[in-house]
Structure 1
């Protein structure tokens, strides 16, 4: 931690933390309120069984809040190895002696009760970086929300209908009228990364000044309708648009469209949480890999933005619209509905430059590798970020419809392998000044 956070009202902050803990646990339990068979089954070798995620969030909470901060004797030390994300691959986890669904629920409930006791007693003005401002609680809240999004991806892969709640979203607006498709971002120096954001992760720090030349960036994410033009033009059959690795992947896997898409005559269909439906042209495309996003951008005469370009387009604030928490008319976050909102649905969420839907709807692939910022320091453990640095993982920004507001901001950095498509990923294009 490089920033000292002043706690203005300890009582109010503790109440907020307690509310965040309750909300994320309600969410976890809702996504696992399904038949035991669905919880223990592995729906894809890319994902853990849901019951593993459920117990893992409790074990993580025990390790950091109860043991590291509370000094409490371990409750179930014999399960630490089972729920260590670096000990066993996801594909191997179904063969482990995992806690069953009922036992997992009892375990995480017992942990949570003790966590609330620690919250009641902790000094949030303590300069210790885990305690200051309640950082450790932000750590576990964000971690659990991230696993909740992973659970949603697993439920999508299950193709079982009726498991996920739906909801209403605001309508989009025509992108053919009014504002131009691209926005110009002038060259200059800007501050990248998190400064005094209390719960920001180590990979978002330290904030640093950097220069970017001017560039253009899409006002909106690329839509399904635009992406189908790439497909129809033979984009998946033409190696000109693909990196060598991307073309090898397309050929080896026979990829011809985003994940979960199928064609029936002239109509593209998608399977969304077990239900087939025509692909809506006006939604941001999702479930595309970095390779697909990069190929589309080349085909369209542009490129993917760097993560610095993406962040600068947000305008240098916690969220594109400012520092206030998201409202329902600014972004599609927190599972308002189980899909992206139509293009142009959130004009009030635009950045000062006029770039829209930067937060929520779909994670946006960037052209950047996941690398440390200048002056980076690992905290509170190197396995969160440091072990992933290098030229294997591409950075995604902005969150998706499945991302909770407390687990995303303009400085938040997500990362994944360029082949990944089960995540709720999309993109927008950029280009350099002529």
Structure 2
């Protein structure tokens, strides 16, 4: 069975538009600073921005130009330089990287060839190209690196170079929790065309009844934990968490500084008072876990989080997003770097789930109390290094996306993961408890 011509053309137009949106964002993030900032390492946790730029192009060349298109390599000589598994981030500034000018010319050449491949591809016939999967994978890869580059911008010193309007205010207060009924629901997906391997396959999971917070933990709520001595009381911390709190000297979320009796935070080169009703951001898993214990609750499991985000009790089906199956718009969620901080709890009433849970998509990645592993029936595709090599107790899962996550790389089934000590990411959390 072949795609109808009009359907194939529609898909090509969609892919070209998504590739263009991703590149526009990459250009914004890399042209906002001078060449010195592009080649500088702003944190040992992050690559120089110029490495991310060329890496994006190299992945596009490997998958779209060489693999899908069967074309000759553009720059085979740089493959090893931009292999993320061969060089830890801290070592990348010492590599003979492409200069900013060379990197820009390289990614432009690769993009021209990739678009030519797109015009000639039937977008069907193998799992790699069916429904434009390989192109969608590259769109998501570039947007994921754009979010990584946005995190690098947050860590860089010097004057502000990025700007965006503030997020919308709350439409009304959002407090308390909701009861999620016990029972089975469909977790993961087998139908989402651009879903990645760790989101697959769809499978039934039984989740006992539980309560979950209607909103993510706010700055004001987290400040109360600090004021009550939460960082000084080992009762609230796991053994690993307490060891890390002591060795890292954690006293507050990353970027927070004392401001009289309150707190301010650095946001992309500007210092502003912490907004009480916005979600707390830049906390690690151990901090989230300790706060939850102090509050008499716990972090939700990954299955609980996804059920709260996708389950429709009226129909029993799992939606693509909390609000339904429609692609996110600016009225649904705080995504895509439209704003440079999380929005206040209650700012997106159109994005609420059927059970009344707010802002499960966007604003902050939410830590959950689950190690990163494959689902039953998991199959690595198209390569083990995307997901499978990270499976195990070393990594914790984050769900929902942040204000820096693009809509193409965020859905109700999307899974992120990181070390539990990481705080440079746009991470927050919400709490749950047994029913």
TM-score w.r.t. structure 1 length? 0.96
Corresponding residue for residue 142 of structure 1: 140
Decide which of 370, 375, 399 is 1:368's aligned counterpart. 370
What does 1:19-418 correspond to in 2, within 5 Å? 19-33=17-31, 34-124=33-123, 126-175=124-173, 181-314=176-309, 315=311, 316-418=318-420
Corresponding residue for residue 420 of structure 1: 422
Q: What SS does the aligned partner of 2:394 have?
A: coil
Q: Check whether the contact 1:184–1:215 (CA below 8 A) recurs between aligned residues.
A: yes
**Cα drift, residue 104 of structure 1:** 0.1
Distance 1:254 1:5, change over 3 A: farther
Distance, in Å, in 1 between the alignment partners of 2:331 and 2:243 is 42
Distance, in Å, in 2 between the alignment partners of 1:352 and 1:296 is 27
Distance 1:385 1:5, change over 3 A: farther
Distance, in Å, in 2 between the alignment partners of 1:11 and 1:66 is 19
Q: What SS does the aligned partner of 1:262 have?
A: strand
**Cα drift, residue 317 of structure 1:** 1.1
**Cα drift, residue 173 of structure 1:** 4.0
Aligned residues: 426
**Cα drift, residue 169 of structure 1:** 2.1
Distance, in Å, in 2 between the alignment partners of 1:245 and 1:267 is 29
Q: Cα deviations across residues 256-276 of structure 1 (Å, max 9, x unaligned)?
A: 000000113302110111111
Q: Check whether the contact 1:241–1:299 (CA below 8 A) recurs between aligned residues.
A: yes
Q: Cα deviations across residues 280-301 of structure 1 (Å, max 9, x unaligned)?
A: 1010000000000000000001
**Cα drift, residue 365 of structure 1:** 0.2
Q: Cα deviations across residues 28-81 of structure 1 (Å, max 9, x unaligned)?
A: 011000100000000000000000000000000000001111111111111000
**Cα drift, residue 160 of structure 1:** 2.9
Give the gaps of 5 or more residues in structure 1. Answer: none
Q: Check whether the contact 1:363–1:425 (CA below 8 A) recurs between aligned residues.
A: yes
Q: What SS does the aligned partner of 1:366 have?
A: strand
Distance, in Å, in 1 between the alignment partners of 2:52 and 2:172 is 40
Q: What SS does the aligned partner of 2:158 have?
A: coil
**Cα drift, residue 180 of structure 1:** 5.4
Q: Check whether the contact 2:171–2:348 (CA below 8 A) recurs between aligned residues.
A: no
**Cα drift, residue 165 of structure 1:** 1.9
Q: Check whether the contact 1:6–1:133 (CA below 8 A) recurs between aligned residues.
A: no
- Bigger mean CA deviation after superposition, 314-323 or 215-224: 314-323
Distance, in Å, in 2 between the alignment partners of 1:133 and 1:6 is 9
Distance, in Å, in 2 between the alignment partners of 1:160 and 1:240 is 39
Q: Check whether the contact 1:5–1:132 (CA below 8 A) recurs between aligned residues.
A: no
**Cα drift, residue 191 of structure 1:** 0.3
Which consecutive aligned stretches of 4+ in structure 1 deviate over 4 angstroms post-superposition? 4-8
Q: Check whether the contact 1:284–1:361 (CA below 8 A) recurs between aligned residues.
A: yes
Q: What SS does the aligned partner of 1:191 have?
A: strand
Q: Check whether the contact 2:171–2:349 (CA below 8 A) recurs between aligned residues.
A: no
**Cα drift, residue 328 of structure 1:** 1.4
Q: What SS does the aligned partner of 1:32 have?
A: helix
Distance, in Å, in 1 between the alignment partners of 2:182 and 2:88 is 44
